[in-house]
């Protein structure tokens, strides 16, 4: 079983007739999915998504793949294929198209409509190539065939990429729901046909590789949602992913049956459901939807709200409702339905939201106490099924954290894939398919790129460390006026603090210590401003540590005269 090594160097020049695969995101993490394929000097990209920040990344809005590996080769890109319309697969496309606007964007009808609506906010008009299942389309040397797969959003696709180096099947995100609400099944027959032809490398969704058996059918969720709406005495507030069209349809159907109006809350929810309705993927009876601004005037027993925030995102509608920072006020007797599973790492944020909602008197229904969500990702039984259908010569698990990738690799070994033909890679690791064998060939840069407001890539790990210190320990500033000719202090020091938890009156104890080191510096003829800053920072830092066992950010401000 091949795996990455921390000492991997840059890869060699790609051998003639070989296919190179580099994941710039989506390996060892949930999100930021992006894979780059190279053959004959040309590039093909599959997915280009974002990762959402965690609490240790304060101030960050989104996390992008690092495009540095392809930045000097943008003209070599023949297309970017989008397997489906979730943010972790399409969210970074606007940032890629900023670098080259005419890269063809390939996807199904719904996926292209969702990305076009997103790109409109960035004032980018994409070059679109619409494809459907059972269709083949060549992009440069890459002969691509598309397969229907069932997922938690309509119109998802898998893609088989044919080159002279062999056939690679990339499943995208998928599951094998045998009774899907939209009737669109994963094309197992197509996978089997491809397996008979010979799959040289299978790249398959690993998110649920640790979950035994098969996922529950989407149809089993409808009656549970219906019961929640029927038995709720007041308002029902449903939190869901803004792209989960199947779930929104089930909620709307339940609201219609029980005589309730529906309001959509949140810009992304309104945008995506508008796209889905216009394309016929969402059935909305006339008069069912009302404007969210008018909803407060309706009797609470006649209302269902559908909003974002099922993952505890701090700026999403549900979190703001829990914090009393939203125009919609949670009231005693309201029912809140979290219609999604937890993305790993979001447990603390979601529990905080649940507690906040409960505090105001809401009944919170979630996956932990009711069957209100099924995963969009195949469980171990389904993954084994696909492995047995396709019988790949080589296997590379994708889309998941380390534990998911390793669990999926073990499943592949159970089906007979030799250990030395199983490649477990991480972001940036280069995998070459040469003469029917997939091997790790090196590594390239593939770190996090942070979006903070309108800036992209300006926030560094050092800046995040500073933000964490400021948020957890506060800061202390020391203002000193220094004669640059002599190094003598002409005014100050003045000490100010915010968020440090230190009584300002206590700073009188450390000021004499600062004055003494400054006098010693001046006596020694030290006039270098950076050295003065260092001794002031060291003196105050030692005093704070000795007396408070804290480590605030200490900022000496030297005014030169």
Known binding residues for Zn(2+) are: 84, 86, 88-89, 151, 173, 399
Tokens of 202: 């299978």
C-alpha distance across the termini of the chain, in Å? 66
Q: Say which residues have a Cβ less than 8 Å from residue 351's Cβ, sequence separation at least 6.
A: 312
What are the CB-based long-range contacts (under 8 Å, 24+) for 228-233?
Answer: 228/254, 228/335, 228/337, 228/365, 228/370, 228/372, 229/254, 229/255, 229/257, 229/258, 229/260, 229/304, 230/254, 230/258, 232/301, 232/334, 232/335, 232/363, 233/301, 233/333
Question: Cβ neighbours of residue 13 under 8 Å, at least 6 residues apart?
Answer: none
Q: Identify the three-state secondary structure at position 454.
A: coil
CA atoms within 13 A of residue 375's CA, in its CB half-sphere: 23
Annotated catalytic, 505?
no
Residue 54 Cα distances to 60, 355, 464, angstroms: 9, 19, 12
Give the residue ranges of the annotated binding site for Ca(2+). Answer: 59, 61, 452
Catalytic residue among 377, 404, 408, 421: 377
Query: What does each C-alpha distance from 520 to 54, 327, 487 come to in angstroms?
Result: 46, 59, 10
Q: Say if CB 246 and CB 154 are below 8 A apart.
A: yes
Q: Which of 47, 187, 205, 253 is catalytic?
A: 205
Name the nearest CA neighbour of 64 among 457, 398, 453: 457
Query: Annotated binding site for substrate: which residue ranges?
Result: 242-244, 373-377
CA distance 83 to 204: 12
CA distance 557 to 555: 6
Q: What are phi and psi of 226, to 5 degrees?
A: -60, -40
Scan for tokens 């079983």, then name that residue.
1
Residue that has been written with the tokens 């590789």 in this structure: 209
Crossing angle of helices 188-197 and 380-390, in 10° steps, is 40
- Report the alpha-carbon distance of residue 553 to residue 550 in Å, rounded: 10
Q: Binding site membership: which residues? A: 59, 61, 84, 86, 88-89, 151, 173, 242-244, 373-377, 399, 452
How far apart CA 412 and CA 30 sit, in angstroms, is: 20
Q: Which is nearest to 168 in space by CA: 187, 142, 136, 131?
A: 142
Q: Are strands 34-39 and 429-434 parallel, antiparallel or unpaired?
A: unpaired
- 205 given a catalytic annotation: yes
Q: Is 214 exposed, middle or buried (0-12, 13-18, 19+ CB in 10 A)?
A: middle
Lookup: tokens for 475:
């800061």
Q: Is 457 exposed, middle or buried (0-12, 13-18, 19+ CB in 10 A)?
A: middle
How far is it, in rounded angstroms, from Cα 305 to Cα 260?
A: 10
Residue (of 55, 94, 28) closest to 313 by Cα position: 55
User: Is the distance from CB of 212 to CB of 381 less than 8 angstroms?
Assistant: yes
CA distance 382 to 74: 37
Residues assigned a catalytic role: 205, 377
């Amino acid at each position: 079983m091949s795996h990455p090594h921390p000492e991997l160097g840059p890869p060699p020049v790609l051998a003639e007739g070989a296919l190179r695969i580099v994941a710039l995101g989506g390996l060892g993490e949930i999100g930021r999915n992006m894979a780059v394929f190279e053959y004959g000097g040309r590039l093909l990209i599959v997915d280009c998504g974002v990762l959402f920040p965690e609490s240790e990344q304060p101030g960050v809005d989104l996390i992008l793949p690092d495009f540095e590996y392809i930045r000097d080769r943008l003209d070599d890109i023949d297309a970017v294929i989008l397997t489906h319309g979730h943010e972790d697969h399409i969210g970074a496309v606007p940032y890629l198209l900023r670098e080259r606007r005419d890269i063809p964007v390939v996807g199904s009808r719904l996926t292209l409509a969702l990305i076009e609506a997103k790109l409109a906010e960035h004032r980018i008009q994409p070059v679109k190539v619409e494809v459907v299942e059972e269709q083949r389309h060549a992009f440069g040397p890459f002969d691509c065939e598309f397969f229907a797969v069932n997922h938690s959003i309509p119109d998802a696709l898998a893609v088989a990429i044919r080159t002279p180096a062999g056939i690679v099947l990339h499943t995208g995100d998928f599951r094998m729901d045998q009774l899907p609400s939209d009737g669109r099944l994963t094309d197992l027959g197509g996978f089997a046909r491809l397996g008979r032809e010979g799959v040289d490398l299978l790249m398959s969704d690993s998110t649920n590789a640790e979950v035994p058996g098969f996922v529950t059918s989407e149809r089993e969720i409808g009656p549970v949602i219906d019961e929640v709406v029927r038995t709720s005495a007041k308002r029902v507030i449903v939190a869901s992913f803004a792209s989960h069209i199947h779930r929104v349809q089930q909620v709307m159907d339940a609201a219609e049956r029980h005589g309730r109006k529906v309001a959509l809350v949140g810009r992304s929810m309104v945008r995506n459901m508008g796209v889905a309705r216009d394309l016929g993927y969402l059935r909305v009876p006339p008069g069912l939807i009302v404007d969210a601004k008018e909803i407060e005037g309706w009797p609470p027993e006649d209302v269902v709200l559908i909003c974002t925030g099922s993952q505890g995102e701090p700026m999403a509608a549900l979190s703001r409702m829990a914090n009393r920072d939203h125009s919609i006020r949670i009231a005693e007797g309201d029912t809140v339905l979290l219609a999604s599973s937890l993305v790993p790492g979001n447990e603390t944020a979601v529990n905080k939201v649940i507690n906040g909602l409960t505090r105001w008197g809401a009944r919170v229904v979630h996956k932990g106490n009711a069957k209100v969500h099924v995963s969009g990702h195949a469980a171990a039984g389904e993954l084994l099924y696909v492995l047995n259908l396709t019988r790949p010569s080589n296997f590379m698990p994708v889309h998941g954290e380390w534990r998911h990738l390793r669990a999926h690799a073990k499943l592949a070994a159970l089906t007979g894939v030799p250990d030395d033909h199983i490649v477990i890679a991480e972001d940036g690791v280069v995998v070459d398919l040469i003469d029917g064998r997939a091997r790790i060939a090196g590594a390239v840069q593939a770190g996090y790129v942070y979006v903070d407001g309108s800036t992209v890539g300006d926030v560094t790990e050092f800046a995040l460390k500073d933000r964490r210190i400021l948020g957890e320990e506060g800061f202390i500033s020391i203002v000193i006026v220094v004669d640059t000719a002599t190094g003598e202090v002409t005014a100050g020091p003045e000490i100010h603090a915010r968020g440090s938890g230190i009584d300002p009156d206590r700073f009188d104890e450390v000021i004499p210590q600062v004055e003494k080191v400054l006098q010693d510096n001046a006596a020694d003829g030290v006039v270098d401003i950076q050295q003065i800053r260092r001794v002031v920072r060291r003196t105050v830092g030692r005093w704070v540590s000795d007396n408070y066992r804290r480590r605030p950010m200490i900022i000496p401000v030297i005014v030169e005269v």
